[in-house]
Structure 1
Amino acid sequence: MADINITNSELNFDGDMVAGDKHVHLPPEPPREFTAPFQAPSDLQSFVGRKKHLEQLAGLGAIGVVPPRFLIHGVPGLGKTTLATRIAWQLRNVFDGGVLWVNIEGDELFSKLDEWAFLYTGDKKALSELDGLDARAERLRQVFQSYAPRKKILAVLDSVIDDNDEAKLQTLLRALSDHSILITSRVRQLVAFPDAIKVDLEQLDEDETWDLFVKVLGAQDARLQNARAQALEIANVVEFLPMALDLAARQLQDNPAWRLDHLLHLLRDELRQLDILHFGGEESRRAIRAAILVSYKRLSADEQTFFDALGAFAGTDFEEQAAAAVCATAIETTSKRLSKLKRLSLLQPSSTSEQYQQQMLQGGRSPDRYKLHSLLRTFAREQLRAAKLTSEMQLRMATHYCDIAVENGKKLHGKEMEHALAILDAEVSNIFAGQKWARENETQAARELTRDFVVRGKNGAMTSYFMLRANWAEWIEWSESGLAACENLNDEKAAGAIAGNLGLVYADKGEWDRAIEFYQQSLAIKERVGDGHGMAQTYTNLGLVYADKGEWDRAIEFYQQSLAIKERVGDGHGMAQTYTNLGLVYADKGEWDRAIEFYQ
């Protein structure tokens, strides 16, 4: 059977994907000029000190038989990610092969591997024919060798929580085995990373603390005259933690009338309140909590509600329109509030690729993205729970990202493909988080979203994305969840489409019998609901599977059944496709005259 590519396809509640034209294998493109990617976040303007740590981390650029491995360890709030960011910027020119960055806590691994492969090959499907993360990691290692030979690459694996991230680490370490690796973690010893050089991060010292206040407020700020002792008292209250000190200094910057002793009073008062509430835990946790509360209580009630709602985001980062949708605020208001939260260090800017920025600007959208530090996200979620708003905000989040998936999924087969793919790649961690929330909840709205993430829209929301990326495991998992949701919703029409798409997944994987099983399930549903168009598509797909199995007569049988329906409804385009498929089968059987008859 000749190779068939799904080029002219349609997927919606009326049916599943159906194969169309013959696939033509094009010669590979000539080598393109290599541009080293740089994915590190923006360097923090208030960064101070850490001289000895930076000197130690400079060893990442050393040349040796074994690529350098470093682990930055420390409690939350010490600035592990900030230090990793600073060293990445300092060594940018040393790593002529690029600086790669992955957030272990939030990023979806399969999309990150695809993204890295694209950065080096320019091919969006460089890993698409491979099934499983291990195979993709090995191919990515080969991509680095082929497209960046003899070049040095630094990979930063940020926010490793503990050894529960072992599977992700093993995959990444396999792909990056020839290159320098830096991990940030709260854990000092990781099983998957035993030989790493440890960089133990401590609190800021007194000189570094004073430098931070001067850097944020400016050396000419009159409040700093003879105020070093007060600044150190503030530092002592917040345990000399960089994150807490930055929050405190930003409050002074935002409130010019405040003196340092007033801020000190506010922080001590918050600590006393925490003691009254029996807020336990490590001293560092209490110190950061006090600093957060001082900043949070200076927001207006509407701004507090806005900040709390941001806790609903569970992906790596988010953009302005998403914040507007979740917080139910106008874009102008959203933009102002995001800017204020960033100014107060309650929100951090997130790095984006040049390609993403260009695509967003061309589409008339802001390229800026934001993220919450894990401690601030935890705080925001606590406020949501206290106000009993968690479910409402998470529903808004999941609904928004389902809409994003639907809007851009339908564009993956047309001229807007590059723009749509850039958006989906940027939002994939949020889309996964939205689908996960929907899958794990049993409300009517959640079940509808679980279904819609798979089947809503012309090309089935994320179905085309999974096909393009060959993410079979995710496609199957989402489709099975979608089928269960359809059963609870009594939505047979959608169930028929999802079953058909599961057949398509297994057909692409070469698991013919499983493909036939789901196609037959889909066909039975479509017969029951009287979906003639969908039946014709499924007959065609059954024909394709049997043709690939070499069972020519069975393939012809199903093509003829598809053709009969298309003739009855006057589907000329569909009839032409089926005639082509019949011609291909007869050609493969060696019955040339019959093949010519159908081609004509």
Structure 2
Amino acid sequence: MDSHKHEFGGELRRRRERAGFSLGAFAKLIHYSKSHLSKVETGCAAGNREFAQKCDIALEANGALLALMRDRPHRRAGTRTAAVTGLPPVTRHFTGRERERKAIVAVLRDMSTEGVCVLSGMAGVGKTALALRSAWDVADLFPDGCLFLDLDGQALAGAQATAHDILDLLLRLLGVPGEQIPPQFDARANLYRSRLRGKRLLVVLDNAAGTAQVAPLIPAEPRCSLMITSRNKLNALDDAVRVNVDVLPHAEAVTLFRAIAGDRVSAAPDELVARVVQLCGRLPLAIRIAGSRLRTGANASLQDFERRLAEETSRLGVLDDGERSVAAAFALSYRELPLDQARVFRLLALHPGRVIETDDIAALADVDLEQATVLADRIGDTHLVTHTADGHVILHDLIRDFARALPEVEEQGAAVRRLLDHNLQLTRTSDEFLAPHRYRVQLDLPDLPVSSTALPDRESALAWFDRRWPTLVGLCGLAATQRLHRHCWQLAFLLRDYFFQSKLWDQWIGTHRTAAAAARVAGDNRALALTLNNLGIAYADRGELEQATGHYEEASDLFREAGDEHGLINAASNMAWAALYLGDHERAWHELWTAGAAYRRLGNKRNAAIALRGVSLAEVELGRHDDAVAHADESYDRFRELDLPLDMTMSLNSSAWAHFRADQHELAAERYRLAAASASDCGSPYEHARALIGLGNVHAAAGRSAEAQAEWTRADELHPPLDQRMVGEARVRAGD
């Protein structure tokens, strides 16, 4: 255990006891938890300068305790991620809530509590607005950032986001690259807690569905805080401080209504405004919708509006009852929409994403981009939709429920097909930039909107994928539920290369499982074979080789039945790679050599070169080192002709590995250095780490242990430990 921890903790305890403070009394005095204070005193926790300064002042140590903290070893350079403040802006019409804000701020300021605050209340009561206002109130207290996640916004195809899904998003926000996020739940949770250690950070989770979704996300670091909003009370969060968010007090409700309605009610009698507000149940969302209708001229006068609201006797009952109250208020606004806007509003409910981009609106409505922009803006004037800073449309979950309860648009089926064809076209053209030499199926897009255009370059394609992939995952699910099976499996097929590059393994596997089920229902065995083959690649890339092999074998049988030679070769090649990593080297060599010859015969140059690189790796394990070097270098030359930098990097590493096992260490070091530089240029932390481990192995073999450890440390900083079954350099480092 760190001697510094013991020195500081021991001195702190000695001074506290000499001053006559019990552990609990002193913890309360310095506003830290009793458990954290105890851990610091016993050397189980390190503390920090802020903690030391509070102790120093409270015990009148005249800087002695602070001086001890000053000697604390610094973090390793490069491990601290930049502060991220992702809080959305607060509505300029935020009104009141002073009591609730004070309660929330007190929880977030006080580090002696568990730092978890739950805001609960009925739908539409303004929990999100209050959470954001309070978060901004204390943002300066969290120098390491403030993160915001709408958990409803992470739900895809009707499935609620799990803690496992949310950990993936939080880790990315905390600077963890996708390929470094482990697939296992416990591993993700451990990495999340590790990333928060020593930080002062606020996490805001909006629209939590239940305790199981958020309980694993509670920070273990006492200086971090978590604020949660939910329509549920989340009773199982025993240690959370709860703030009940009720409807607005009468005076605040009137102030909000006048602010929203503006000049239309500036001269209206207080009594009339009070009656309208009361008919809205003093529910903020209903008040906002009512005020917006008045401001945009939806009613001739405030008196008329009051009468219409009062006539809706059934609606008044709903207005006092959760989600039905919001639906009633939405219905009033919806009836005032012109026919073209009402049609688009109902079509928006078909979209699976919470954020809807203008080109998707155009596809749904079968209009051009300019018309789609105008229609979205007009609907936004009624607050039935809101807009992001970059002009995209957001449908709140309750508004979406309301829109889906409306009568279906006659062309609903055609609208869904247009949306899917549009996104299939964009996904295909974008995928061509990511993997230009990949085999692709021919798309049949009879409902492709005239407004659909391709992206211009690789950079734009990557940015589009980064922004759009949640919608694309949702569209796979939508296609399946609409029994549009061809759209479902083709979209999943085209997402493979992006998921491989970004290491979004969960989404890769999820979409392909959905696609496989769709292909089975459709009785399309060729589509099923293609999907299962790619599903196997997903599992293999995640290191689950036995699972991958099962999918490859089923795909191979289907390709054989269909007489698909290209597919059969792909499945055989993939099984050969799995055999290589599982230790069946002779079989792997034979099948990869056979696959390479078949690829050359079919003119598939990239796959032939990939198979040749696999042959080299098998030859290393079989002790045929001269052949291994020759074949690795030949594969490099082929990839260079095709201008494929990542594949060139992988071949450089394979050549270095072959030289190393042939005891040609200087040549190995030369190749590893070239591979490290190439990996850095093409943005592959995985191959870069492999090259550095190889360089460390060269140093270790020459007895240069310090140099070896330096290279291995650099590799560990770039990427989590590489799988020893799949990377020979990792086995050598481990002493195998």
Contact residue 257 and residue 277 of structure 2 kept, 8 A: no
CA distance in 2, matches of 1:252, 1:597: 78
The superposition leaves residues 59-87 of structure 1 with CA deviations (integer Å, 9 ceiling, x where unpaired) of 24314244411111111121111111222
CA distance in 1, matches of 2:134, 2:426: 35
Q: Is 1:236 paired with 2:278? A: yes
Residue of structure 1 in register with 2:338 after alignment: 300
Residue of structure 2 in register with 1:268 after alignment: 310
Corresponding residue to 2:293 among 251, 267, 290:
251
Residue of structure 2 in register with 1:56 after alignment: 103
Corresponding residue to 1:197 among 231, 241, 257:
241
Contact residue 409 and residue 462 of structure 1 kept, 8 A: yes
Corresponding residue to 1:215 among 244, 252, 259:
259
CA distance in 1, matches of 2:177, 2:506: 22
1:325-340 equivalences under 5 Å are: 325-340=363-378
1:155-166 equivalences under 5 Å are: 155-161=203-209, 163=210, 166=211
Q: Is 1:98 paired with 2:145? A: yes
CA distance in 1, matches of 2:305, 2:221: 46
Residue of structure 2 in register with 1:450 after alignment: 488
1:577 Cα offset (Å): 3.6
Corresponding residue to 1:559 among 588, 592, 603:
592
Contact residue 319 and residue 329 of structure 2 kept, 8 A: no
Residue of structure 1 in register with 2:70 after alignment: none
Residue of structure 2 in register with 1:120 after alignment: 174
CA distance in 2, matches of 1:154, 1:84: 12
CA distance in 1, matches of 2:121, 2:376: 29
The superposition leaves residues 228-261 of structure 1 with CA deviations (integer Å, 9 ceiling, x where unpaired) of 2111110011111111111111112112983321
1:107 Cα offset (Å): 0.6
Corresponding residue to 1:154 among 193, 198, 202:
202
1:526-565 equivalences under 5 Å are: 526-565=559-598
Closer, same or farther: CA 435–577 of 1 in aligned 2, 3 Å: closer
1:303-452 equivalences under 5 Å are: 303-350=341-388, 367-385=390-408, 387=409, 393-394=415-416, 396-397=418-419, 400-403=422-425, 405-412=427-434, 419-441=460-482, 443=483, 446-452=484-490
Paired residue type of 1:212? L
1:124 Cα offset (Å): 4.2
Q: Is 1:132 paired with 2:184? A: yes
Corresponding residue to 1:520 among 543, 553, 577:
553
Q: TM-score, normalised by structure 2?
A: 0.66
1:486 Cα offset (Å): 2.5
CA distance in 2, matches of 1:288, 1:487: 41
The superposition leaves residues 177-208 of structure 1 with CA deviations (integer Å, 9 ceiling, x where unpaired) of 862111111222432x2222121112222321
Contact residue 357 and residue 393 of structure 2 kept, 8 A: yes
Residue of structure 2 in register with 1:496 after alignment: 529
Contact residue 158 and residue 183 of structure 1 kept, 8 A: yes
Contact residue 140 and residue 175 of structure 1 kept, 8 A: no
Residue of structure 2 in register with 1:183 after alignment: 228
Closer, same or farther: CA 570–103 of 1 in aligned 2, 3 Å: closer
Count, aligned residues: 532
Contact residue 105 and residue 159 of structure 1 kept, 8 A: yes
The superposition leaves residues 420-469 of structure 1 with CA deviations (integer Å, 9 ceiling, x where unpaired) of 4543443344333322233334x3xx2112212322xxxxx222343345
SS of the equivalent of 1:583 reads helix
1:304 Cα offset (Å): 1.1
Contact residue 539 and residue 562 of structure 1 kept, 8 A: yes
Residue of structure 2 in register with 1:594 after alignment: 627
Closer, same or farther: CA 346–483 of 1 in aligned 2, 3 Å: closer
Closer, same or farther: CA 98–259 of 1 in aligned 2, 3 Å: same
1:344 Cα offset (Å): 2.1
Paired residue type of 1:585? A
Contact residue 237 and residue 287 of structure 1 kept, 8 A: no
SS of the equivalent of 1:249 reads helix
Corresponding residue to 1:41 among 78, 88, 94:
88
Residue of structure 2 in register with 1:357 after alignment: none
Residue of structure 2 in register with 1:168 after alignment: 213
CA distance in 1, matches of 2:417, 2:407: 13
CA distance in 2, matches of 1:329, 1:573: 41
1:20-31 equivalences under 5 Å are: 31=78
Paired residue type of 2:588? A
Closer, same or farther: CA 88–404 of 1 in aligned 2, 3 Å: farther
Contact residue 398 and residue 437 of structure 1 kept, 8 A: no
Contact residue 111 and residue 222 of structure 2 kept, 8 A: no
**331-340 or 407-416: which moved more?**
407-416
CA distance in 2, matches of 1:171, 1:418: 36
Closer, same or farther: CA 252–551 of 1 in aligned 2, 3 Å: same
CA distance in 1, matches of 2:127, 2:570: 54
**229-238 or 200-209: which moved more?**
200-209
The superposition leaves residues 151-183 of structure 1 with CA deviations (integer Å, 9 ceiling, x where unpaired) of x2111111123x3xx442234336888621111
Paired residue type of 1:90? D
List runs of 5+ in structure 1 lacking aligned partners.
1-28, 352-366, 456-460
Q: Supply the RMSD in Å over aligned alpha carbons.
A: 3.2
Corresponding residue to 2:193 among 121, 133, 141:
141
- Select the structure with the greater relative contact order (CA < 8 A; seq sep ≥ 6): 1
The superposition leaves residues 312-368 of structure 1 with CA deviations (integer Å, 9 ceiling, x where unpaired) of 2343322222222223232212212222222222212347xxxxxxxxxxxxxxx32
Paired residue type of 1:336? V
CA distance in 1, matches of 2:600, 2:330: 68
Residue of structure 2 in register with 1:16 after alignment: none
Contact residue 312 and residue 397 of structure 1 kept, 8 A: no
SS of the equivalent of 1:312 reads coil
Contact residue 264 and residue 294 of structure 2 kept, 8 A: no
CA distance in 1, matches of 2:367, 2:605: 48
CA distance in 1, matches of 2:495, 2:222: 32
1:403 Cα offset (Å): 4.8
**297-306 or 428-437: which moved more?**
428-437
Closer, same or farther: CA 502–55 of 1 in aligned 2, 3 Å: same
1:497 Cα offset (Å): 1.8
CA distance in 2, matches of 1:558, 1:598: 15
1:495 Cα offset (Å): 2.5
List runs of 5+ in structure 2 lacking aligned partners.
1-75, 156-160, 437-455, 635-736
More helix by share: 2
